[in-house]
Chains A and B, each alone.
Chain A
Amino acid sequence: MTHSDNTQRLFLDMQEHPENYADEQLESMMDDLDREPDVHAAWQRFEATHHPGKTSSHRWLRIAAMFTGVLLMAGITFAAIHLVSTKRQAPAAVEVQSLTPEPTSPVCFDNVTLDSILTVVAAHYQKTVTFRDEAPRRMTLIMTWQPDAALADFLDRLNAFDGLSLSLQNDTIFVIQTNEEEDKP
């Protein structure tokens, strides 16, 4: 299949008026539409544009930089964020050893695991986190957090994600996985 508008027009016309075309022409169009792609080459192209090392290291560094900036602005000691690895498959690579921030500026979580997000957020609100299911721990999310907003508002926003349910009981944030799997790209 070529990429031209002419091919598209030809395809549409063949679809609307197949009677105007010889069988061989229709066959040729079908051959083109059903041509087997080179899947390995396609995967390599996909990998090249979605390489984990390149993108996620930037992301993690950006997150670390944002935390550092937020903490410096707040004048609070930032104990340590260790970047152990930059591989995306290991989101636990961001190890928050001791973090007691009281940031006031918005924090942007860009592809950060829910586990890491809640570690930071719960510390800020002086809550603990209990994952009743393990799967949500590894969910990676993109969202901003306004530290001076109410915790309940932040939990509401997390609850808008399919398959996720968070509730606050006493001083503990409980996280469970719901049965809804309706992610639609």
Chain B
Amino acid sequence: MERMEIKRLFMQHYAKMLRVARTLLCDEQESEDVVSDIFAYLLRGRTVLLPGTEEGYLLTSVRNQCLKRLRHEQVKRDAADVHTTDALLDDADIEDERWTDIVEFVVGHLSEQEQRIFHLRFTEGCSYEEIAATEGISRVAVWKHLSRAITAIKKHFNPPKL
């Protein structure tokens, strides 16, 4: 992909991508690394993003990269069990499957409002302020809805997927 095109995407989507990464990783440096890695990948030149798919592709990439990092951290924590190192297989499809599992759980187990808030935060990359305005509730209420959603996801999946 051309450098000027990368710059345009960077300027347009960096803030939102970083926001999603921060929410999943809660680590500024790691979040910046994730976003930077995605643009570096695009710079290598093979991917062509069709108009209208850019934001979806970039945010999905952020989510997948964050899930991969979390998975690797989980494997490191479980390092005493040598068999878990198999889980480090670098397969991008694994993250897609994990996210699909999470979304299926969200749809099947959470209230409609929690589903909407979860979607706005992790799929649309909205800020807490934007979600609060959309839902007509306070930011603290948004945090608490997301908190319930994430806690339920963590409890449901073993090993945890978030």
Contact = CB atoms under 8 A, between A and B. Distances in A.
Interface stretch (B31-39, B80-88, B100-108): B31-39
| Interface secondary structure of B, over-half rule | helix
Nearest to B23: A33
A15 B151 contact: yes
B32 A42 contact: yes
Q: Which of B65, B92, B140 has most A Cβ within 10 Å? A: B140
Contact of A23 (B50, B61, B64, B140): B140
A135 B29 CA distance: 35
Contacts of A33: 19, 22-23, 26, 128
B45 A139 contact: yes
Contact of A30 (B39, B95, B139): B139
A184 B129 CA distance: 30
Interface residues of A, number: 44
Interface size class of B (residues with CB under 8 A): 35 or more
Interface in B32-87: 32, 36-48, 50, 60-61, 64-65
A2 interface: yes
Contacts of B29: 3
B120 interface: no
A172 interface: no
Q: Which of A15, A36, A40, A111 has most B Cβ within 10 Å? A: A15
Interface string A15-33: 1101000010011011001
A108 to B, nearest CB: 16
